[in-house]
Structure 1
Amino acid sequence: MVNPHAPRQNQLLRALPQAEYERLAPHLEAVALPLGKVLYEAGGVLRHAYFPTDSIVSLLYVMATGESAEVAVVGREGLVGVALFTGGNTMPNRAVVQSAGHAYRLRAALLRREAARTGPLSRLLLRYVQALIIQTAQTAACNRHHSVDQQLCRWLLLSLDRLSGNELAMTQELIANMLGVRREGVTEAAGKLQRAGLIDYSRGHITVLDRPGLEARVCECYPVVRREFERLLPAPTLAVGGGWTAPSHAPYGPGNIDGAGG
């Protein structure tokens, strides 16, 4: 069986040429990421980059009032800590574990050193940053212009793309914090999806029963983000020695880290 916690379960690590990966591998440290763990606070110095394997991390903007809204999600397709190789050491948001699991972390100095080599890793990271920017921008537009149930569909689909199953452990209160809406709005939206037979929600667990139904109901924001990840990042096919086999709905396509194809 494929080990779900192997480093190359992360798409970025899996996409690296063998020589590049072997240079990083001795420095990758396996860490458990429990639900709610804060990887960094707004303005805090980033000391590690995290490559999730089976966890999801939410990037949240926290207002002065304490209210928050999710600006992006990161799972096995990416990494947490892009500021480490884009020229800064801090971010104005908070990184919180949304779905418990595991990741591999790399010390900040090592990531900077490898990114500065301007090789395959550097090109891959730049593509990932572009995809992340697009996700952030589309999330802002979605939160401004689309209904809560459409936002919930988008959030569920983005989360499913980063998990192996169809179940999420998440309370309505946490979802409301992610979407930046009132809990009552999430309750109403989740009720609509449940009555339509798309999800089952019970005791903090959401099971997606009809993914095509969610995709038919979601706004344009989800497919925009999905297409850009497909265009920019390599497809997560099975790697020799313990990679991940993409499900049929996997959103990441045949991006070429050597510069071709977009």
Structure 2
Amino acid sequence: MTDRVPPVLEALDSSGDVALKGVCGEQPMLHRRDSLRPNKRPLVKNAILARISLEGLGAIGECLEPIVLKERMILQESKRNVEHVYFIESGLVSLRVVAAGSMLETAVIGYRGVVGASFLWGGHLSTHQSVVLFPGSAHRIRVEELRRLIKQRPEIREHLLEYVQALTFQCVQTGLCGVRHNREQRLASWLCLASDAVDAGVLPVTHDYLSSVLGLRRAGVTQTLSRFEEQGLIRKMRGVLQINEHKCLEQRACCCYKLISGAYASSRSAIPANERLG
């Protein structure tokens, strides 16, 4: 990972027809070449951007700013004004509720989603603290620009609302999961959801972190992960967990995993890994 996003984003297909391009000192724009063929899609990784029409993507592309997501970077603080909306390209962001010195993670966001979409409900304040868990990249847009665009192009608002509905379900279901399901089920569910969110089987996450966000004793987390490793489901390395048997891990997870996955699958914003562009 470099310390900056390249000025020309890797969003071209093999023919090089369409690319999100940022020029130094200018806002990134959607550039087209004369050879653009009808119905050609840019290779954007974010699932929501990938669903927007070429015309809509051209409009929003003029306002997108590519940024690097560094580990522990705070994108938004709870109860603070939402200034930007982040379309995640890679990496993982943790949504948290923080109160009285305690923290509860309510969702994780990867390439399928956005951070900061709560403005759609008409509010100006963030409902969560949003912190980068796994480094990656994103495109961000100022809220006032996105407000203008969704008035001009309802399809953008529609895609965002579909995603926010799934995200809201995940937040609510996660809260219920914390009081209804056991340690093994919750750990398996989190690992599966995080793996899906980044479309990868290697997760740079520690036992301490899992203990903190799930509200579990660290010794219990270590014991459960060791059992998963003995069963061949995962492999533990220093600061990293590798998922070897995703399907088997799903069977250890509580019903929340399938319910949350189903909520995203029912949204047109969710693109199966084998159909993703990029």
Residue 223, structure 1, aligned to residue 258, structure 2: yes
Aligned position for 1:13? 49
Choose 1 or 2 for highest CA Rg.
2
Superposed, 1:84-233 pairs within 5 Å as 84-117=119-152, 119-233=154-268
Aligned position for 2:58? 22
- What is the CA distance between 1:236 and its match in structure 2? 2.3
Note the alpha carbon deviations across 1:175-229, whole angstroms, 9 max, x for none.
1222122222221221221121111112110000111110111110000111111
Q: Match for 2:116: what amino acid?
A: G
Residue 59, structure 1, aligned to residue 133, structure 2: no
Q: Which has the higher strand share?
A: 2
Choose between structure 1 and 2 for higher RCO, CA contacts under 8 A separated by at least 6 residues: 1
Q: Match for 2:47: what amino acid?
A: Q
Q: Match for 2:150: what amino acid?
A: A
Cα distance in 2 for partners of 1:78, 1:29 equals 16
Q: Match for 1:138: what amino acid?
A: Q
- DSSP 3-state at the match of 1:100: strand
CA contact 2:199–2:273 (8 Å) conserved in 1 = no
- DSSP 3-state at the match of 2:198: coil
Q: CA 1:239/1:188 → structure 2, altered by over 3 Å: closer, same or farther?
A: closer
Aligned position for 1:50? 86
Cα distance in 1 for partners of 2:168, 2:64 equals 26
Percent sequence identity is 31
- What is the CA distance between 1:234 and its match in structure 2? 4.0
- Please, which runs of 5 or more residues in structure 2 have no aligned partner? 1-8, 13-18, 21-43
- What is the CA distance between 1:80 and its match in structure 2? 0.1
Note the alpha carbon deviations across 1:37-73, whole angstroms, 9 max, x for none.
1111111111100011111111011120x22111111
- The range that moved more, 140-149 or 111-120, is 111-120
- Please, which runs of 5 or more residues in structure 1 have no aligned partner? 245-262
Cα distance in 2 for partners of 1:76, 1:184 equals 32
Aligned position for 2:277? 243
* Number of aligned residues: 241
- What is the CA distance between 1:171 and its match in structure 2? 1.1
Q: Match for 1:69: what amino acid?
A: L
Cα distance in 1 for partners of 2:109, 2:80 equals 19
CA contact 1:70–1:180 (8 Å) conserved in 2 = no
> Given the two structures, how large is their TM-score scaled by the length of structure 1?
0.86
Q: CA 1:239/1:162 → structure 2, altered by over 3 Å: closer, same or farther?
A: closer
Q: Match for 2:255: what amino acid?
A: E
Note the alpha carbon deviations across 1:58-102, whole angstroms, 9 max, x for none.
1011120x2211111111111000122221121232101111111
- DSSP 3-state at the match of 2:277: coil
Q: Match for 1:243: what amino acid?
A: L
Q: Match for 1:55: what amino acid?
A: G
Q: CA 1:220/1:238 → structure 2, altered by over 3 Å: closer, same or farther?
A: closer
- What is the CA distance between 1:4 and its match in structure 2? 7.8
